């Protein structure tokens, strides 16, 4: 299709064109398929379907953001909020009791987990496959952004940690809790949802990510 590299978007465009052609031919019985195709195709500018591609990219980005937020916010609603509070309280007591050494150990451990999971993600989803399908490209951009953000926050805290006082205890406990919660969200719930999407909505494309 005109300037559209994503296979899944190409399929949507073909379906859209087919509907337009069918509509034109039903309105004018004298119209041949080729004439209807030319008429439909001429509706699009020289840039082809770039506007449609851009719209689909935004739509898909918002879609995966909603999915991500759904899984993340589950930890701030009943019943998982009890787990979130327990995690936060545990970190608070740990940092309060053992100070900077505990902070360093916790955040270094979280960093190792993030790096390990990021490496697994890279091995699981090849770049050429990601770039071929918009559904994977959008998913991966959200996944990488939040995974990278978690690692960045952790690393910054390690190198900027100073004497711990009550306000910093609160901040460190909250950030540690969020980073811990992000691990099952990013590396369990989110990928499982993608797998279901590929097996149902995108089954016709036979997308293989592993």
> Strand, coil or helix: what is 1?
coil
pLDDT digits (tens, 9 = 90+) for 160-181: 666 678 888 898 899 899 999 9
pLDDT digits (tens, 9 = 90+) for 114-126: 889 888 888 888 8
Cα atoms in the Cβ-side hemisphere of radius 13 Å centred on 20:
17
Contact yes or no for 164/99 (Cβ under 8 A): yes
Which pair of structure tokens corresponds to residue 149? Answer: 């953000």
| pLDDT confidence band for 148 (50 / 70 / 90) | low
| pLDDT confidence band for 103 (50 / 70 / 90) | confident
Contact yes or no for 137/6 (Cβ under 8 A): yes
């Amino acid at each position: 299709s005109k300037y559209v590299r994503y296979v899944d978007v190409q399929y949507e465009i073909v379906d859209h064109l087919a509907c337009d052609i069918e509509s034109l031919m039903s309105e004018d019985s004298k119209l041949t398929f080729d004439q209807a195709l030319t008429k439909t195709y001429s509706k699009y500018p020289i840039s082809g379907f770039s506007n449609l591609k851009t719209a689909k990219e935004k739509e898909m980005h918002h879609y995966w953001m909603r999915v991500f937020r759904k899984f993340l916010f589950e930890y701030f609603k009943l019943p998982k909020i009890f787990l979130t509070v327990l995690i936060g309280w545990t970190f608070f007591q740990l940092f309060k009791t053992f100070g900077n050494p505990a902070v360093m150990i916790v955040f270094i451990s979280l960093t190792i987990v993030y790096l390990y999971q990021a490496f697994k993600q890279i091995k699981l989803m090849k770049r050429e496959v990601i770039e071929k399908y918009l559904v994977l490209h959008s998913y991966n951009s959200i996944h990488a952004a939040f995974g990278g953000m978690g690692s960045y926050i952790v690393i910054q805290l390690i190198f900027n940690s100073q004497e711990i006082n009550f306000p910093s205890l609160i901040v460190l406990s909250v950030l540690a809790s969020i980073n811990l919660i992000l691990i099952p969200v990013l590396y369990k719930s989110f990928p499982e949802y993608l797998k279901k999407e590929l097996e149902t909505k995108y089954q016709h494309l036979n997308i293989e990510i592993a």
